[in-house]
Structure 1
Amino acid sequence: MDPQAIDQTLRDFVRGSRFIQEGAVVTDLDGTAVHEFEGRIVIPDAVSHSLKRLRDHGRPVILNSLRFPLNVIRTFGREWYAISNAPLPLVSLNGGLMGRLVETREGEIAFEEIHAFPLTAAELDEVLVGVQGLVDGGIDDLVLFYYPRDWTQGELIWTPVPEKVGEIRAKYLSATRVTSSPVGALRNDLHAHEICMIFLLINAEEDQLMAYQHAKRSNFVTHDGIDKLSGLEALAGQLGLDLAQAVGAGDTPMDSFLKGVGLAVHVGDLALEYKGLTATVKVRGSRELGGLFTRLATLLEGGFR
């Protein structure tokens, strides 16, 4: 999108909304506000510096991610916390778990829950019926990731094939635990926890999956009606924020929260269907997003030149 057109859209939004007084910035992480460099996930300086400017002027910054809280903390929690030096709101697990990144007395970053939408027993059983059907049908090259409400447990992984535990553990270093068991034992474990999200990854040909209703190569499962938008709305309600005055940035069809903010920023090459309540702009990547946030901070400071 033409830089001049983006600048004019930003000007119009800041002038026509209450962003300066009541606005917030909501951003997805991977592919949006962060990128991978030499095997490490980093926040571009342009993003971190501009968000800190916005936060210094009282505009809250909210992270909205599929990542689980422990992973956000371990990968770049300290860097993100430094942007605000105050509790940093986080919508996690596709809207299933919301809270704040906080600093403990010991100087560590932790997660403090505000609200959660765990799957019901019936929703868990629906997933398990599908998993049992796949296994019974000879499709055992699948991996089930599940994320308890207790954020300290992190990411738990199950496979029906015991011989693959070591391989999966080596591939998914973020996992707290990788186990293999009959589906019945998995059922007991799932029902013993409050689960906020399940991710089922199936390595099988499409024609094999056709026999199983609703089976997909990958599938995110949250409580009915919960996604990044509903999670953000619940968090905004708790924090007293009006999303119509907010700016949101995302890069994939999972970023449904873009249609709930005043100004939506599409990041990257994908053509997203979500439009902001007031306006929508598009940038090519996280560095250009940093430039947009920088211009937004300048406008907030009165820079309407």
Structure 2
Amino acid sequence: MTDHTLRDFVRASRFGREGAIVTDLDGTAVHEFEGRIVIPDAVSHGLKRLRDHGRPVILNSLRFPLNVIRTFGREWYAITNAPLPLVSLNGGLMGSLFETQDGEIAFEEIHAFPLTATEIDEVLVGVRGLTEGGISDLLLFYYPRDWTQGELIWTPALDKVEEVRAKYLSATRVTSSPAATLRDELHARDICMIFLLINAEQDRLMAYQHAKQSNFITHTGIDKLSGLEALAGRLGVDLAHAVGAGDTPMDTFLKGVGLAVHVGSLDLEYKGLTGTVKVRDSLELGDLLARLADLLHGDAH
């Protein structure tokens, strides 16, 4: 069934001329191996072959640009050896990874959707309600539009700063301050995403409207699909002829591409515009990418 779906998509669409490959990272195109996040050879080889056929590769991730660069930016850049489009922070920040004259990998913004002052204040009202209600075991992660700032974390518990810093090594800075100081900090710069993590029992959270143990907050209407649509428009890519791969309900972009590839065991509701296939893991995704490359090669002859 998968092979038929791939063949029908390649033949019926303009994937070979106008399409692209859009992939989530964690759980989809990369996995953890011996404590290190790696790109399986099958995935990198498949993407390289598709790139050789002229198909752009677009990354679509919750990760922030600095984290992508530090963890596997060089490996991803090697796949294309050209600016690599990235939708990050759940659609809040879009741009490209590129190589500087010094040989470093950097990020160049193409577009961003920062939170408004009102949206930030709405989050802080909730945070204030939680802390005043005795829930202090929470963390507020925030991600500035200035990608060089990376990931910043706030905790209401001063005595937890060192513990949080040791746990979240990806963070640029961990602070604890009064709510008013946090508000000033958030209003002083463009913020593209806030992630609220609360370590409290669900029955305690029920006392606070809309409180969840984890919550990603972006500008209203912004997610991985809207971010991808904005970037695709700038790149001249028609998503109806693109292939997208993801593994969680956060991967809303799957319903905006021509062929959606569900990776892993979850049953996702998002269907591709013309077709949907399912693979078990990143290794099978690599096989699927190789098959797509074979079909393009066959069409070329």
Q: TM-score, normalised by structure 1?
A: 0.98
Question: In the alignment, residue 60 of structure 1 is paired with which amino acid?
Answer: P
Q: Runs in 1 of length 4+ with deviation above 6 angstroms?
A: none
- Number of residue pairs matched by the alignment: 301
Report the Cα distance in structure 1 between the residues aligned to 2:237 and 2:19, rounded to whole angstroms: 8
Report the Cα distance in structure 2 between the residues aligned to 1:24 and 1:304, rounded to whole angstroms: 17
Residue 198 of structure 1 corresponds to 194
Q: CA deviation at 1:207?
A: 1.1
Q: CA deviation at 1:303?
A: 6.3
Residue 98 of structure 2 corresponds to 102
Q: CA deviation at 1:294?
A: 0.4
Report the Cα distance in structure 2 between the residues aligned to 1:38 and 1:125, rounded to whole angstroms: 41
2:183 matched to 1:184? no
CA offsets 1:253-301 (integer angstroms, 9 cap, x no match): 0000000000000000000000000000000000000000000011111
Residue 220 of structure 2 corresponds to 224
Question: In the alignment, residue 48 of structure 1 is paired with which amino acid?
Answer: S
Q: What secondary structure, in the 3-state scheme, does the structure 2 residue paired with 1:197 have?
A: strand
2:54 matched to 1:58? yes
What residue ranges of structure 1 are gaps of 5+ in the alignment? none
CA offsets 1:222-273 (integer angstroms, 9 cap, x no match): 0000000000000000011100000000000000000000000000000000
Report the Cα distance in structure 1 between the residues aligned to 2:141 and 2:33, rounded to whole angstroms: 26
Q: CA deviation at 1:25?
A: 0.1
Alignment check: 8 A CA contact 1:258 1:264 kept = yes
Question: In the alignment, residue 88 of structure 2 is paired with which amino acid?
Answer: S
Q: What secondary structure, in the 3-state scheme, does the structure 2 residue paired with 1:301 have?
A: helix
* Aligned counterpart for 1:49 among listed residues 38, 45, 48: 45
Q: What secondary structure, in the 3-state scheme, does the structure 1 residue paired with 2:284 have?
A: helix
Q: What secondary structure, in the 3-state scheme, does the structure 2 residue paired with 1:83 have?
A: helix
Question: In the alignment, residue 294 of structure 2 is paired with which amino acid?
Answer: T
Q: CA deviation at 1:304?
A: 10
What residue ranges of structure 2 are gaps of 5+ in the alignment? none
CA offsets 1:21-77 (integer angstroms, 9 cap, x no match): 101000000000000000000000000011011111110000000000000000000
Q: CA deviation at 1:193?
A: 1.0
Residue 164 of structure 1 corresponds to 160
CA offsets 1:155-208 (integer angstroms, 9 cap, x no match): 000000000000000000000000001111110100011000000000111111
Residue 115 of structure 1 corresponds to 111
Residue 214 of structure 1 corresponds to 210
Report the Cα distance in structure 1 between the residues aligned to 2:143 and 2:300, rounded to whole angstroms: 45
* Aligned counterpart for 2:86 among listed residues 84, 90, 95: 90
Question: In the alignment, residue 239 of structure 2 is paired with which amino acid?
Answer: L
Report the Cα distance in structure 1 between the residues aligned to 2:299 and 2:238, rounded to whole angstroms: 24
Alignment check: 8 A CA contact 1:27 1:33 kept = yes
- TM alignment of 1:6-21, pairs within 5 A: 6-21=2-17
Residue 138 of structure 2 corresponds to 142
Q: CA deviation at 1:302?
A: 1.1
Report the Cα distance in structure 2 between the residues aligned to 1:105 and 1:56, rounded to whole angstroms: 24
Report the Cα distance in structure 1 between the residues aligned to 2:184 and 2:300, rounded to whole angstroms: 60
> What fraction of aligned residue pairs are identical, expressed as a percent?
82
Question: In the alignment, residue 183 of structure 1 is paired with which amino acid?
Answer: A
2:275 matched to 1:279? yes
Q: TM-score, normalised by structure 2?
A: 0.99
Q: What secondary structure, in the 3-state scheme, does the structure 2 residue paired with 1:164 have?
A: helix
Report the Cα distance in structure 1 between the residues aligned to 2:224 and 2:299, rounded to whole angstroms: 32
Q: What secondary structure, in the 3-state scheme, does the structure 2 residue paired with 1:302 have?
A: helix
Report the Cα distance in structure 1 between the residues aligned to 2:51 and 2:85, rounded to whole angstroms: 12
CA offsets 1:68-115 (integer angstroms, 9 cap, x no match): 000000000000000000000000000000000010000000000000
Question: In the alignment, residue 32 of structure 1 is paired with which amino acid?
Answer: T
Residue 148 of structure 2 corresponds to 152
Report the Cα distance in structure 1 between the residues aligned to 2:84 and 2:300, rounded to whole angstroms: 29
Residue 31 of structure 1 corresponds to 27
Q: What secondary structure, in the 3-state scheme, does the structure 2 residue paired with 1:276 have?
A: coil
